Structure 1
Amino acid sequence: MTTHRVQAPVIGEGEKVTGPASYFPAIERTYDRPVQDWLDMAADALETRTHMEVVGMLKQEHGLGHGHANAVVAYVRAAQDG
């Protein structure tokens, strides 16, 4: 676990979520992997890369769509910026 870990939100069934986290249920369904995994990858990559470089990495190396990758990175950056 990294020291810069961003915790995935707990989204209750039927709960209306806005912003980047609104993509998380679809990300988990589409890529069959917990969103926490993607958040951890993005947080690690953001140590040495820009926002768009991390989006590109998630797209090219892991097959995420642009919107999903951008939502993950935006969520991590917002959480880290406080």
Structure 2
Amino acid sequence: MSDAKIKGPASYFPSIEKAYGRPIAEWKALVRAACPARHMELVALLKQQHGMGHGHANAIVAHTLAEDDG
């Protein structure tokens, strides 16, 4: 097991799951279903349609788009 601390957008994932009651995989699927769209459009979608805070929405979008680009 690794004791390495999670950094970057993924560090928000436990609090996102706790606050909004859905696994990260579901949030990522919502982002992917809304593509193609610009980063901030996807952030706005999570904020407006799901009541997510800006930091949490931005973390999900950034992590999802980075995964898909890589």
Can you give the 5+ residue segments of structure 1 that lack an aligned partner in the other structure? Answer: 1-11
Q: How many angstroms does 1:57 deviate by?
A: 0.5
1:6-32 Cα distance to aligned partner (Å, 9 max, x none): xxxxxx8x7621011000000000001
Q: Does 1:18 align with 2:7?
A: yes
TM-score, normalising length: structure 1: 0.78
Q: Does 1:62 align with 2:56?
A: no
Identical amino acids, percent of aligned pairs: 52
Instruction: Name which of 19, 27, 30 aligns with 1:41.
Output: 30
Number of aligned residues: 69
TM-score, normalising length: structure 2: 0.90
Larger helix proportion, structure 1 or 2?
Answer: 2
Instruction: Name which of 28, 32, 39 aligns with 1:51.
Output: 39
4+ residue segments displaced more than 2 Å: none
Can you give the 5+ residue segments of structure 2 that lack an aligned partner in the other structure? Answer: none
1:72 corresponds to which residue? 60
C-alpha separation in 2, matches of 1:37 and 1:76: 11
